[in-house]
Amino acid sequence: MKGIRSFLDRLEPHVMSGGKWERYAPLYEMVDTIFYVPGTTTAVAPHIRDAVDMKRSMFTVIIALLPALFFGIYNTGYQADPSGGFLQHVLTGGAAVLPMILVSYTVGGLWEMLFAVVRRHDINEGFLVTGILFPMTLPPDMPLWMVAAGISFGVVIGKEVTGGTGYNVFNPALVARAFVFFAYPAEMTGDPVWSLAGELTAATPLAVASAVQDGDAGLLVSQAGYSFRDMFLGFVPGSVGGTSKLAVIAGAIVLVVTRIANWRIIAGGLIGLIAAAVSANMLAPASGNTMLSLSPINHLLAGGFAFGLVFMATDPVSAAQTDRGRWIYGVLIGVLCVMIRVLNQAFAEGIMLAILLGNAFAPMIDYFVLRRHIARRRVAYEKQ
């Protein structure tokens, strides 16, 4: 590490202001701050010293994602050939998933560097998470050129045109996924896309629940062979990173303990989903809509709700910023997810649109929460 530090110190005068490679200062800063904590400090009080900067925070999110990623690789191979061994599952899944991650990081990273060099600002650290989150929301057989198109749209339109990390209204990874979902629906819907097994495919649990318009949705899921245990552990067809709720819980613990994710959003999302699902269950006897009878536990385990709530809804940039606003924001996402699943039979999974709509309402939620706080303080002041 001393050799790297020495090399970077010799290079620094050439890339700083007035140096011959000044234009490429963002690239130098990216490499320097990956290996070392920035040495800059504030000139006036208050002085806050902490080894955790933005890159360290993003690396923590990546660490939290690793259990879901590793299991997703294994499950991709398992769904392709359940009769194979552990090593075969890992190799098969890795051959499908790792190229998507490589393409996402390469293409998205090039866009990040291009905007940083042209605008002469530091490379945004948020892409460290966006680059891995996006492929984890995709089917395992997604064509690589579509992965490149999606991450390009997510980085450029979802973030850079609004000013980069810290200024984006919507979660860039979800913007990328929404783009490929609506631009290439044949590659994002239907039973075959969720497995590498070709014709030997099975529908996702949510697809099973929404396929039949008469009966109990939870019973249909059980009859299809998807037990609560399998859905909790993740041995079901689905997106790369969203099937294992156990892996998501492990990641959630890391994010909450390190305070990178706010627990209020997660708790609010669970409350909203349970309340909306129970309300839908009460309406089920009066309707032939199968999804109305889907229980809260099925809503939680059958799709990507948990993954989206923990790793995307808690995005500190696009989420609500006030504590009360976070509760409202989380509840809104939970309710919207169930409403989309129940009312839109053509779109079994609703967490993507629910979070994007939550992102859109987050500034308004914070605005009214702050206005209410100001009004209460004004009344208290006037009473003095």
* Count of the separate structural domains present in the chain: 1
Residue identified by tokens 């949705």 is: 217
- On whether residue 1 sits in a domain, the answer given is yes
Report the C-alpha gap between 14 and 23 in whole angstroms: 10
pLDDT number for residue 347: 73
Check residue 2 and give its pLDDT: 63
Report the pLDDT value the prediction gives residue 193, as an integer from 0 to 100. Answer: 72
pLDDT at residue 22 in the model? 61
Note the pLDDT of residue 20.
Answer: 62
pLDDT at position 185 is 86
Q: Is residue 40 part of a domain?
A: yes
CA 110 – CA 98 distance, rounded (Å): 18
Contact 221, 298 (CB under 8 A): yes
For the chain, which ranges sit under pLDDT 70? 1-5, 7-55, 121-123, 191, 197-202, 209-220, 223-224, 345-346
Confirm if 353 and 170 have CB atoms less than 8 A apart. no
196 part of a folded domain = no
Asked whether residue 118 is domain-assigned, the answer is: no
Asked whether residue 45 is assigned to any structural domain, the reply reads yes
Instruction: Decide if 19 is inside a domain.
Output: yes
Identify whether the C-beta of residue 366 lies closer than 8 Å to the C-beta of residue 322.
yes
In a domain, residue 18? The reply is yes
pLDDT score for 291: 82
Which domain covers residue 11, as residue numbers? 1-51
Question: Residue type for 247, please?
Answer: A
Reported pTM: 0.85
Q: Is 314 inside a domain boundary?
A: no
